[in-house]
């Protein structure tokens, strides 16, 4: 049975989110090539991470799983803390309430250097890690 995954990509930092997307897509293709799961995936673009939870909520019945991809970089105001906490809590609530895995590929960093290192598919590959978490749940349930 083919599983459908939706990647929800916040485009606010396009250089960072493009790397997260590349890492995520690579991981999906690896899983398909190893016949771990038959996977179909779509990508939905939103302007920023704050729009990710409502997008997932709107699409929750159409997919088996989601992967949230985006970046929040700390500035000089409390905005970083407020947005990061609100989005992570909303994603967790959606996942538990709907009993669907939602991989958290939203990186929260102190500066652009950290963001690049975490997003780079050849370095920490946080996009790929988020997909791996979702695939593991889909495999086991």
pLDDT exceeds cutoff 90 at 44: yes
Alpha-helical segments (H) within 36-123: 52-59, 79-98, 112-119
Question: What is the per-residue pLDDT across 68-114, written as a single tens digit (0 to 9) for each?
Answer: 999 999 988 888 899 999 999 999 999 999 999 999 999 999 999 99
**Residues 41, 45, 79, 113: which is the catalytic one?**
79
Q: What is the pLDDT of residue 140?
A: 87
Q: Which of 135, 127, 139, 136 is nearest to 43 (CA)?
A: 127
Is residue 79 among the annotated active site residues? yes
Contact between 87 and 104 (Cβ < 8 Å): no
Contact between 51 and 59 (Cβ < 8 Å): no
In angstroms, the CA 13 to CA 115 distance is: 10
**C-alpha dist (Å) from residue 76 to 47, 65, 114, 117:** 21, 35, 17, 22
Q: What is the pLDDT of residue 110?
A: 95
- Domain chopping of the chain, boundaries: 3-140
First to last CA, the chain: 12
Q: Does domain 3-140 have CATH number 3.40.50.960?
A: yes
Give exposure, 42-79, as e/b (b: 16+ Cβ within 10 Å).
Answer: eebebeebbbbbebbeeebeebbbbbbbbbbbeeeeee
Provide the 8-state DSSP code for 122.
Answer: T
Question: What is the per-residue pLDDT across 23-33, written as a single tens digit (0 to 9) for each?
Answer: 999 999 998 88
């Amino acid at each position: 049975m083919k599983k459908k995954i939706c990647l929800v990509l916040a485009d606010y930092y396009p250089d960072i989110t493009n790397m997260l997307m590349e890492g995520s897509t690579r991981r999906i293709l690896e899983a398909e090539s190893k016949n771990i799961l038959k996977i179909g995936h779509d990508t939905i673009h939103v302007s920023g991470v704050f729009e990710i939870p409502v997008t997932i909520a709107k699409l929750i019945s159409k997919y088996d799983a989601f992967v949230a991809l985006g970046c929040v970089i700390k500035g000089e105001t409390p905005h970083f803390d407020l947005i990061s906490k609100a989005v992570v809590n909303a994603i967790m609530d959606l996942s538990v309430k709907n009993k669907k895995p939602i991989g958290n590929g939203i990186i929260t960093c102190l500066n652009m250097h950290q963001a690049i290192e975490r997003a780079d598919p050849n370095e920490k590959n946080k996009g790929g890690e988020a997909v791996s978490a979702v695939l593991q749940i889909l495999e086991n349930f």
